[in-house]
Amino acid sequence: MRYTWLDSYLCKKRCVTKDFQPVWNWIRYQIGGKMFAAICFDKQNQPYYINLKADPVEAKFLQEQYADILPGYYSDKRTWISIKPDGAVPDDLVRDLLDRAYRLMLQGFSKKQQREILHLSCCGTDCGPCPFYHKDCEGCNESRGRVFHAPAGKACPLYACSVQKHRYVTCASCAEMPCDIWNLTRDPQLSPQAFEQSIQERMQNLKEL
């Protein structure tokens, strides 16, 4: 198969899991337990198709444009496409279609579920490695923003603005990111440099969505 980078590209995506389905002879890539991409193998264990979740209108358009993009093999032919692994579909387009398939499946979950699946708070913080997680702090999503450093009985100002006021999945949907509230909620123990680095890391986390 010409897309030798495909497996590592998908596995690097946030919270993607991969397994092998022996009956189908497919490698499946999932987010939140739902498949959004697969490599289908033939009886000689050679890649036969790359299956991807797709928007129905876009799927039809792509099939008209590329001979190597077909209706989804053994899938809902309206919402899945199959790409020939040694065809002429450009690498950049395949990468783009993988990104879209991932986002499409993720967006099928509720906004709260999306943050939970990604282990991200609305401001891009990954609670997982935090020393307070499950000790002094329940976590941002679990406590609905009422983390221990938030004003008593209220959500953290970031959560209050992003989730409660704007109903965003995360601040990534907001043109003002990183706004003044990000600065106001700065951990006082962080140096200016460490805080700037934290902003960059959180924005990078959110960009992956």
39 binds ligand SF4 (CB under 6 A): no
Helices vs strands, H then E, count in the chain: 7, 6
112 binds ligand SF4 (CB under 6 A): no
CA distance 136 to 21: 40
Q: Which of 9, 73, 168, 195 binds ligand SF4 (CB under 6 A)?
A: 168
CA distance 126 to 99: 21
Single out the segment in contact with ligand SF4 by CB under 6 A; choices: 48-56, 97-105, 165-173, 191-199. Answer: 165-173
Q: Which of 184, 178, 185 is nearest to 201 (CA)?
A: 178
Q: Which residue, 66 or 168, has its beta carbon nearer to ligand SF4?
A: 168
Backbone φ/ψ region at 38: left (φ over 0), alpha (ψ -120 to 50), beta: beta
Three-state DSSP at 92 gives: helix
For the CB of residue 35, give the shortest distance to ligand SF4 in the complex, in Å.
Answer: 29
For the CB of residue 186, give the shortest distance to ligand SF4 in the complex, in Å.
Answer: 13
Q: How far is CA 130 from the centre of its chain?
A: 21
150 binds ligand SF4 (CB under 6 A): no
201 binds ligand SF4 (CB under 6 A): no
172 binds ligand SF4 (CB under 6 A): no
87 binds ligand SF4 (CB under 6 A): no
CA distance 18 to 36: 11
Q: Which of 15, 16, 179, 203 binds ligand SF4 (CB under 6 A)?
A: 179
171 binds ligand SF4 (CB under 6 A): yes
Cβ neighbours around 107 below 10 Å, total: 12
Q: Which of 1, 15, 93, 174 binds ligand SF4 (CB under 6 A)?
A: 174
73 binds ligand SF4 (CB under 6 A): no
Cβ neighbours around 165 below 10 Å, total: 9
Whether 85 and 3 have beta carbons less than 8 Å apart is answered as yes
Which residues contribute to the site for ligand SF4 (CB under 6 A)?
Answer: 121, 125, 127, 130, 132-133, 137, 139-140, 147, 158, 161-162, 166, 168, 171, 174, 176-177, 179, 181
